[in-house]
Amino acid sequence: MKSHEWAVVDGGAATIGISDHAQKEITDVVFVDLPKVGRKVKQGEACCVVESVKAAFDIYAPLSGEITAVNEALIKDPAVVNRAPHEEGWLFKIAPADAKELSALMDYKQYQDFIKSAAAHGGH
């Protein structure tokens, strides 16, 4: 599944957020509906909602597993998703259930190619 979430795996947890490209498309984030810690998610399942002045956007789990943490700082200051989408603007963490899913994720270069391809075809 190709979408605009990123995942960084460190030890037994994957930190999930949205790309800088996606936060620019979404524009000013005003609310983040975070998933519950302990929730089990499947790869590709909508599990978080980011609301902006434009609309609400589903955020999909890039990996199957259990939600182990959420970024509670976003409750008070959701705009950090815009300011630092790859750092403090992370959304949630997953304990991956299937290591094979990790190999299917795009790396940064593949993602940049995906964005260019989507833009060439009129998508985002």
Q: What's 86's domain CATH number?
A: 2.40.50.100
Helix, strand, coil tally for the chain in percent (to 5):
25, 35, 40
pLDDT of residue 117: 85
pLDDT of residue 3: 74
pLDDT of residue 59: 95
The model carries a pTM of 0.89
Q: Which of 32, 5, 9 is nearest to 86 (CA)?
A: 5
- Torsion of the alpha carbons at 47, 37, 39 and 81, rounded to the nearest 10: 10
* Number of domains present in the structure of the chain: 1
| Range(s) of the domain holding residue 62 | 5-120
pLDDT of residue 124: 53
pLDDT of residue 1: 45
Positions in the chain whose pLDDT score sits under 50: 1
If DSSP codes are grouped into helix, strand and coil, which group holds residue 28?
Answer: coil
